[in-house]
A and B are shown apart, each in its own frame.
Chain A
């Protein structure tokens, strides 16, 4: 009897202990960051738009991560941020002290099975993105293409400029070719988006696809909109941007031209890059409690009025998307069916 009473006591003690430990676990994570330094590895050079967001975030993180760790930025540019992504996934210690700030479209490379990809996109632990970026395609208004219909019918295709095969300027028109049946002639090789805009001014090319944000925030577009130098022919969001009431969305176009199911799935997979925005990620083995802590901090930062005011001052859009949503999305894009993957490879020119 005594024995069993003792056993009961031990069991109770153990249960209590476990309960205390269980409750303490988050406490451990909170303590963990005290006096530590978090490094955000940014996959671009300093000063790039992809660099500006993490730098802004870094200023607010100590306030919202329990233990107020130091947060520093390390630029690890190269290979469209794939060097940084591989590093965060494989090399960095999975202790929750290394965050990656990487390109949203890196999963294209995984789907097209590039051997250099050393990560599984769906196993990155997404903390969130401070912004989602939808795209548009502008066309010089003196060109004979006033609508997507005109482009479909045209005997000579319009020439769009792009600064590389991995940029929006390349894959957005290509996607339209695939799902709507337009024919764009894409001139690749410009050094930057600005170079393409200059080429459009000169009349070397007539169109370019890029973010809606820039169209409304920057020159030369402010002048172009004023003088009617260029028009927007379509946009990539699910709903029309309130500022772009006259431009159809790609979904409306797909309805109009009766795109088949494969084409629609392809569109979903490709345009998911818009939602990934400018993602912040942890590697796959970072403990769940630390991921949770950082996701919470992210959600609070993007709601902080001081952060929002600061971002607006720096002309950075605030349209955050949280880590859980991105996590779900990452599983969806990686689970894309083989026919979609094959189309995608064709689209990006990476297939055999």
Chain B
């Protein structure tokens, strides 16, 4: 095993594999930065080029290297402009963009890059460590357990609600209702499609998120008539400060990375969900809750780590069973077949070196991208000091191209505009937007697992020990902060403590 571990390392660094890795990183870097044009679509476009590559490790250097960095550089766009660079980077906007507005773009970028690196490393190491227990790990949770985990995710709506719990819950409820749009997967009947074929597949998360978050910020930027940063330029520093923040909140970063890994392992969930849960966890861990959404660095660190660590988790079902853990893994599987490697259990035996090479690709590509990023972060951060009127046309083009890539349909733009308007109205009236997005993402998944559980087990699944344990955990997560707060207050109420 040790032999395969080192062999994988040297094979990644060998030529031409390393060249392919650099090429992949170069492409992934830009794909991540540009909104909407996601890692998945790029992977599909790049696949034919990998047909000419000879060995599995070289092909993986190119494709996995590319995929691994999109998550990292996607975070940068979210922080700088309030536009999600990748759909898995949207949660970075909540605190990252306010930091840019405060003139702390450098610090936020430093924190995002460093937490991404740690997240990716933890994800990759988990992948390496879990090799002997991969199969039971994946099989541990069936549909009933996944349903409860989805419910656990929905309870984070409360955390993401911000100042007004009622408004947060209502926004979450609207999100859950929006998730019902489309062909109902159980009976095939159409729900709320109003005769439109576009709505058959439900609302795509990308145009909704881009509209919801980017449009209001662009309107705001236009109205203010200043640069994104409202602070003077002298304050532009702090990339290192962000790096230090990562280590100040090291355990938070580790916990969020682990959240990311596990959501990667679970089928269907993945980075899109993990980022919000990690954000919710980070926001909940704040001592002063009112800082959430106003530029707290913890809100950058959490999702920054989680959306990178999912990649390691994603690979686990892919390797253990040859069953892809996500859409991008399905494409990677295709590439592996072409270079003559049957993904699946073989990779745990005769081709263990390939598995370890993947671990190394995840780590090395993130180290390289962090290195490159640190060289240019200050220049990127300087963009937030450019006059808004010069940036806005450019940002609008990015927003609409980004949405359009979801389905290549004109209706993607309509959805962006509608949710842009809704997002602006919500922002004006103090309604939190993240609960709506979380409701939209989790609603469909939750409904499916509930149906499957009931169809497969009747009502019996409610009494499964694993389900009961998960329900207990969910309740304690919901109740714990309230209890802790009460106790804290009770303590304060005692006169001797007040002194």
Contacts and interface: CB of A to CB of B under 8 A. Distances in A.
Given A194-B324, A313-B51, A223 B185 contact: no
A83 B197 contact: yes
A47 B345 contact: no
A344 to B, nearest CB: 13
Contacts of A192: 324, 330
A161 B320 CA distance: 21
A270 to B, nearest CB: 15
A265 interface: no
19 contacts: A45-B44, A52-B334, A78-B197, A78-B198, A82-B197, A115-B195, A159-B456, A165-B186, A187-B455, A188-B455, A189-B185, A198-B138, A198-B317, A199-B143, A202-B139, A218-B322, A219-B342, A314-B337, A315-B334
A166 interface: yes
Interface stretch (A69-77, A236-244, A279-287): A69-77
Given A188-B185, A199-B143, A314 B267 contact: no
B194 to A, nearest CB: 11
Contact of A79 (B138, B143, B200): B200
A349 B185 contact: no
Given A159-B456, A205-B456, A219 B448 contact: no
A26 interface: no
Contact of A197 (B187, B201, B323): B323
A59 B463 CA distance: 55
A97 interface: no
A55 B331 CA distance: 14
B452 A219 contact: no
Interface string A171-198: 0000000000000010111111011011
A201 interface: yes
Interface residues of A, number: 51
A74 B405 CA distance: 11
Interface in A310-352: 313-315, 348-350
Given A76-B408, A201-B139, A116 B455 contact: no
A52 B183 CA distance: 25
Interface of A: 45-47, 51-52, 55, 74-80, 82-83, 86, 115-116, 159, 163-166, 185, 187-192, 194-195, 197-199, 201-202, 204-205, 217-220, 222-223, 313-315, 348-350
Given A191-B448, A222-B344, A315-B338, A199 B142 contact: yes
Contacts of B41: 46
Given A190-B452, A219-B342, A222-B342, A204 B143 contact: yes
B413 to A, nearest CB: 15
A187 B450 CA distance: 11
A52 B187 CA distance: 29
B331 to A, nearest CB: 5
B49 to A, nearest CB: 12
Most interface-central of A46, A165, A219 (chain B CB within 10 A): A219
Interface string B441-461: 000000011011001110000
A110 to B, nearest CB: 14
Contacts of B267: 191, 194-195, 198
Contacts of A350: 188
B58 to A, nearest CB: 16
Given A195-B323, A223-B322, A313-B338, 12 more contacts: A51-B44, A55-B48, A78-B407, A115-B195, A165-B186, A187-B455, A197-B321, A204-B143, A220-B344, A314-B337, A314-B338, A350-B188
Contacts of A116: 195, 197, 200
Given A198-B323, A313-B51, A189 B186 contact: yes
A51 B40 CA distance: 14
B448 A189 contact: yes
A188 B186 contact: yes
Given A189-B186, A220-B344, A86 B197 contact: yes
B268 interface: yes
B45 interface: yes
Given A187-B452, A189-B185, A219-B344, A78 B409 contact: yes
Nearest to B48: A55
Interface string B329-371: 0110010011000111110000000000000000000000000
Nearest to B188: A165
A2 to B, nearest CB: 67
B177 interface: no
Contacts of A76: 407-409
Nearest to A80: B200
B453 to A, nearest CB: 9
A222 B322 CA distance: 10
B321 A220 contact: yes
A219 B323 contact: yes
Contacts of B449: 189
B43 interface: yes
A223 B344 contact: yes
Nearest to B138: A198
A46 to B, nearest CB: 4
Nearest to A49: B334
Contacts of A45: 44
Interface in B126-184: 138-139, 142-143, 183
Most interface-central of B197, B327, B334 (chain A CB within 10 A): B197
B47 interface: yes
Contact of B197 (A79, A190, A217): A79
Contact of A166 (B188, B323, B456): B188
Nearest to A197: B323
A83 to B, nearest CB: 5
Contact of B330 (A194, A205, A315): A194
Contacts of A163: 185
A54 to B, nearest CB: 13
Contacts of A79: 183, 197-198, 200-201
Given A47-B330, A191-B267, A83 B198 contact: yes
Interface in B189-228: 195, 197-198, 200-201
Contacts of A219: 321-323, 342-346
B43 A165 contact: no
Contacts of B186: 165, 188-189
Given A78-B201, A349-B188, A47 B342 contact: no
Contacts of A198: 138-139, 267, 317, 321, 323
B70 to A, nearest CB: 15
Contacts of B43: 47
Nearest to B317: A198
A47 B44 contact: yes
A349 B201 CA distance: 19
Contacts of B142: 199, 202, 204
Given A165-B187, A194-B330, A204-B456, A315 B337 contact: yes
Most interface-central of A78, A197, A315 (chain B CB within 10 A): A78
B329 to A, nearest CB: 9
Contacts of A51: 44
Interface string B10-49: 0000000000000000000000000000001101110110
A204 B323 CA distance: 16
